[in-house]
Structure 1
Amino acid sequence: MTSPKRPVPSDVSWVLEPLLDLPGVVHALVLSSDGMVQGASPDLGREAGEGAAAMMSALQGAARSLAISFSGDNGTQLRQVVVDTDSGFVLATPAGTNTVMAVYASRDVDMGVVAHHMQIQVATLGRKVMNSPARDTGTPT
């Protein structure tokens, strides 16, 4: 018995180009909420991109659960996750249905500018091109 094939999403790396042009931005990634790479900056190796996507998926889920636990409101929506390290920052934001956009930038980046441009990309393109259908869980409907 063969399982139904899920359409492979098209590569949406092109939506990251304006972000990669910003001073201090090193890498960017679009991923499905379950950790599949949908688009990546050209200099990000496949293994690194897939690892980052898997970890970002877990981090987004944990951040969402944490926010709901603290707020006591199951309707709480996650807007952004920021990871601050000694070598740079990771900024991630929901970018469409079941989709996340993440950026890695050096310490000297203007995070406000990057976050603003991420929101512009999401607002203009997120609903149109950065959507991932929910995965089939195998449960009959």
Structure 2
Amino acid sequence: MTVVPKRPLLRDMSWVLTPLLEVPGVVHALVLSGDGMIQGATQALTREAGEGASAMASAVQGACKELVRKLAGQEESPVLHQVVVSTNYGFAFLIPAGDNTVMAVFAQPTVDMGVIAHAMQVQVSKLGDKVMNSPARARG
């Protein structure tokens, strides 16, 4: 029987997550596409955990939009600013990070929610600046 070693996640946008790990209580962070594909992750997160978390984060965002749309009696989806899930294990924070991009952070129950929410917004701004200042790719 061949055992396949666990591979770390690809870290294309992981640079934007590093400062979030400096916030006391932050455990993991991800950048994902709206359809749940990983675009970056903190180093300690395994590929398997990251892929599962990315898929669920995408589903949670979609479910929250639909929930609010239905409860508000609206035809169009709302603009989602933030989702926070509070559990006995800690908090999951999800915020939009640009066009079809989401940032997700998992933190211990002791985290200062205001500090992490602010830190995430700062990093989303940096991500936006980096993406907007990147040279255009040639069409292929």
TM-score class, shorter-chain normalisation, is 0.7 to 0.9
| Residue-by-residue CA offset, 1:66-119 (whole Å, 9 max, x unaligned) | 111122332520011111110100000010110000000001000110001111
Aligned residue runs from structure 1 range 80-91, under 5 A: 80-91=82-93
- Give the secondary-structure state (helix, strand or coil) at the position aligned to 1:34: coil
Amino acid at match of 1:105: A
Please state whether the residue corresponding to 1:96 is helix, strand or coil. coil
The answer to whether the 8 Å contact 1:97/1:127 transfers is no
Q: Report the CA distance shift for 1:128/1:64 in structure 2 as closer, same or farther (over 3 A).
A: farther
The 8 Å contact of residues 65 and 77 in structure 2, kept in 1 or not, is answered as no
Identity score, percent: 61
Deviations 1:7-58 (A, max 9, x none): xx97100000111111000000000000000000000000000000001111
Q: TM-score, normalised by structure 2?
A: 0.81
State the TM-score, normalizing by the size of structure 1.
0.81
Q: Secondary structure at the residue paired with 1:101?
A: strand
For 2:129 and 2:57, locate their aligned partners in 1 and report how far apart those are by CA, in whole Å.
20
Task: Write the distance in 2 (CA, Å) between the matches of 1:60 and 1:107.
Answer: 21
1:109 to 108, 111, 133: 111
For 2:130 and 2:70, locate their aligned partners in 1 and report how far apart those are by CA, in whole Å.
31
Match of 2:126 in 1: 124
The answer for the alignment partner of 2:41 in structure 1 is: 40
SS for the counterpart of 1:31 is strand
Per the alignment, residue 21 of structure 2 pairs with 20
Number of positions where the alignment pairs a residue of Structure 1 with one of Structure 2: 122
Q: 1:66 to 1:119 in 2, by over 3 A?
A: same
Corresponding residue for 1:134?
none
Q: Gaps spanning 5+ residues in structure 1: where?
A: 1-8, 131-141
RMSD of Structure 2 on Structure 1 (CA):
1.8
